[in-house]
Amino acid sequence: MRRGHLIGKAAFLFAALLFSLNALAQSDGEHQAYVQAVTRLTNPGESATLERFVSTAVSESLKRDGLEWLVTDHLRRGEMAAAKVFGQELLGREPENALGLAVSSNVLNQSAISTPDSNNAVSMAKRALRAMPQLKAPELMSESEFSRLRDKLARTLNGAVGYAYYQQSDYVSARAYLRKAVALAPENAQYAYALAICDLFGRDGDEAEGFRLLARTVNLTQGTPAGQELANFARLKYEARGGTSSDWDRYLAATRVPSSTVASSTPARAQQPKQPEGVAGTPGGTAPSKPSAKAPSSQSEVAFAGTKTDLPSGASDLPSFPRVKREIAPPGSAFSLGILIQTSQTSHEGRRAVINTLSDMVRHLRDGDEAFLVSFSKNVAFEEDLTGNAKLLEAAMDQIRPAPGASLFDAVSFAAGHLNRIARNRKRVLLVVSDGQNGTSQISPLELSGELRIGDVEIFCIGMNSNTREDQYRLQSLAAKTGGQALFVADASQFRSAANQVAANLGIGMR
């Protein structure tokens, strides 16, 4: 009996040994298949072998490493959709995988600007940053290649989250992320500008760093259409803090550093400009008083692509932002309406259609509603102040006469500012009737962008005879930045249909 028991036990151990040897052989074979598949990635279009391996692999670690290789390879080739597919498969197996979270958040897929377009994207990008310390190099990836991958993820994720906070004017939250992004991407003008604004206009900001990075942005964008606007804005702000124009020129020269230098480095003391009294950003400067104006957003925000500073055609004015959603007042609330008309839109061909439609709109004002009328050409003219009296507004409209010129930004700045200052109602809407031209304005796009960012005015634009992409872009940007809408009509006969949409937003009906 004992002999039989020993024979049975020996047979079991032998079978277990054979199973283990077979498993080891299979494991070794799977590892060899992994090595061969990864090695073939060096050839263009050879990811299919690794994809087949990943679909059949038994080893969880090799499957994960294979997926990380596939994500990295597709990212390198610019195949974002494929990278996202494998990134999501990674998350199915490892929910806090930094690479899977990064590619699934879409922040790596922003060709024009690395900014998440939703709260979910920001949340996922922040999760990816928290998971970064746990990210390990997949087998066969060299240390140098993995280091480049980590740097790219850290740079893009920090930049995206920081820039999202910046766009929400949460400058305090933005700074920590943007500082990391700027350190990793010293030539990225988008990140440098955003951090400069956060420092100069946010609570407890580092004003020395702010002016240094503002100067860096000017240097990086020199020679571009947007760069000139940035240069003008920076010079004005420097002078407002007590400096002189010549001081600023010297400071620009002192902060022009080689591309390999990290943005957070400080220029040598001997090269820094002579310190004007009370100017931040210069040696030994005392902290200046807080600025009287709120920070503008960069008029070239849409143009900063990665580490490049080239501007796309037609992006010379306000940036094309995703439409802002503002819940200023409940639907149906009383409103304060500013009507802003470019006088050339009241010429003989379309005068009656425009004036009659707008007159009909003000005749539908309800108790508590109010409106004013401003016209503009080369100059801005106040036709009638805020009132609930439709007859006064109609009479003012009849007095408008066409004149040359188009100071669109000056007029929008005045009208939106007037609404913000004296409107009685929380719901404030500016209706702009224009072709989108802006030839004679004095205010810069930067300054107007800042004014609109901090205000509570929704802008609706009706573009008539907007014949160029640049004119249409200008109106679309004004509307989108404030949560409004831009509507375009081919001629005056279509004007009433567009005005009806604006009226519907106001909660009033027109015949």
What tens-digit pLDDT sequence spans the chain (511 residues)? 455 555 555 555 545 544 444 444 446 788 888 888 888 886 655 788 888 888 888 888 899 998 999 998 888 887 888 888 999 999 999 999 999 999 888 877 653 344 555 678 889 999 999 999 999 999 999 999 999 999 999 999 999 999 888 888 888 999 999 999 999 998 888 899 999 999 888 888 888 888 889 899 998 888 876 777 788 888 888 877 777 888 888 888 877 754 433 333 333 222 233 333 333 333 333 333 333 333 333 332 222 222 222 222 333 344 333 344 455 566 678 999 999 999 988 887 778 889 999 999 999 999 999 999 999 998 889 899 999 999 999 999 999 998 888 889 989 989 998 998 889 999 999 999 999 998 878 877 767 877 787 778 999 999 988 888 888 888 988 888 888 889 988 877 788 989 998 998 888 887 6
As given in the structure block, the two tokens for residue 187 are: 């030539």
The answer to whether 326 and 413 are in contact (CB under 8 A) is: no
For residue 381, what are the contacts with CB-CB under 8 A and spacing of at least 6? 374, 375
* Per-domain boundaries in the chain: 31-154, 185-303, 335-506
As given in the structure block, the two tokens for residue 147 are: 């280091």
The answer to whether 100 and 87 are in contact (CB under 8 A) is: yes
β-pair type (380-387, 427-434): unpaired
* First-to-final CA distance of the chain: 105
Interatomic CA distance for residues 439 and 347, integer angstroms: 19
- Residue by residue, DSSP assigns 271-326 as GSPP--TT-TTSTTPPPPPPPSSPPPPPTTGGG--TT-----TT-SSS--PPPP--
As given in the structure block, the two tokens for residue 338 are: 């500013």
Assigned CATH for 31-154:
1.25.40
Ranges assigned E (strand) in 124-179: none
- Do the two domains 31-154 and 335-506 of this chain adopt the same fold? no
For residue 470, what are the contacts with CB-CB under 8 A and spacing of at least 6? 314, 316, 317, 436
Phi-psi group of 416: left, alpha or beta (phi > 0 → left; psi -120 to 50 → alpha; rest → beta): alpha
Q: Which amino acid is at 320?
A: S
Fold annotation for 335-506: Rossmann fold (3.40.50)
Consecutive H or E run containing 427: strand 427-434
Order of strands, sheet of 457-464, starting from the edge strand that comes earlier in the sequence: 380-387, 370-376, 335-342, 427-434, 457-464, 485-489
Query: Is the whole-model pTM more than 0.75?
Result: no
Whole-angstrom CA distances from 381 to 132, 166, 445 are 57, 35, 21
